[in-house]
Amino acid sequence: MKHLLFITLFIQLTFLGIAQSENIFYYDIYNRPSNAEKAFISKKIKVDKKENILISSFYKKDNKWVELTTPEDAYFKRKSTIVFKKHDKRNHRLIRTRIYEKIDTCYHFKDYNEYYIEQEGYTKKLLTLELEGELKRFYPNGSIKSIEVYRNNQLVNITNFSLNGEKLEDNVYHWTPILPKYPGGEKSFAMNIAVNINYPNDMKAEGIQGRVIVSYVINTEGELIDTQIIQSVHPSLDKEAIRALKSLNQKWEPGMLNGEKVNVRLIVPINFRLSEKYCP
């Protein structure tokens, strides 16, 4: 059985153009496939002898490659499923699952996190997405967040929707090749939110806890604006989550798309948990 699994995995990796080594894919400032000389973004895929896959992303700054995001591990769970694993800013393990189907020269894929479907579309590659055609992104409740159109991995059109399905006439993106960056990175962002959270006393007394999801926009000036509650627990906790987020008044590095600064909407989960020892 193990021998069969090894053969299947080897065929998949070979089919994807990935051997037991290190492969680097390059993308220009518009996110189109490119070469090392003209590249602005690079993605490195490393496969070890045990067929474990490590994916790292970088961008070029002052003619040097700088790590873009935390590296993630990946493995083929079965013939049409890839599992991605990484650790977030609080060192919690995040798991994403990609289910795919080969259609002509592309793959139709759906990405799920541990809670809901995140996106659905078409790609020429599976481990490093090279998007083609329509891509849909989703809110945690399953409603459509945006419909984007790609040509050769370059975003050429986007339509955004509110949580209740209304079309939005704005210039906010839900994804960019270079996402906004908080001073000190993801870990600093999470730590500063945690330090600024003041658990409301009435919520402690009533034993109310849960996970509030807040969306916010980082504009072209690096300012955090337009906070919205995506998933509510209680109005009091929702209010505190937004207050703590707004208290982070440091300027971000804005997101970049096609070589220009753009407005980007991000989502952050804020967990309110009471210690079992707490007694009002």
Give bridge partners of residue 67 from the DSSP assignment: 58
Give bridge partners of residue 255 from the DSSP assignment: 262
Predicted local distance difference test score (pLDDT) of residue 278: 47
Strand, helix or coil for residue 47? strand
Strand, helix or coil for residue 198? coil
Q: Are 53 and 47 in contact (CB under 8 A)?
A: yes
DSSP track, 108-171: EEEEE-SSSEEEEEEES-TTTT-B-EEEEEE-TTS-EEEEEEEETTEEEEEEEE-TTS-EE---
Q: Which of the four pLDDT bands, split at 50, 70 and 90, describes residue 97? A: very high
- Give the largest CA-CA distance in the chain: 62
**Mean pLDDT value of segment 168-176:** 81
Strand, helix or coil for residue 202? helix
**Mean pLDDT value of segment 172-190:** 88
**Mean pLDDT value of segment 242-270:** 91
Q: Write the pLDDT tens digit of every residue in 113-132.
A: 888 899 999 999 999 999 99
Pairing of strands 81-87, 93-103: antiparallel
**How big, in percent rounded to 5, are the helix, strand and coil portions of the chain?**
15, 45, 40
Predicted local distance difference test score (pLDDT) of residue 4: 41
Instruction: Round to whole Å and give the CA distance between 241 and 272.
Output: 9
Does the predicted model carry a pTM greater than 0.75? no
Predicted local distance difference test score (pLDDT) of residue 167: 87
Q: Which of the four pLDDT bands, split at 50, 70 and 90, describes residue 156? A: confident
Spacing of C-alpha 166 from chain mean position: 24
Torsion of CA 147, 131, 69, 269, to 10 degrees: 30
Q: Are 168 and 160 in contact (CB under 8 A)?
A: yes
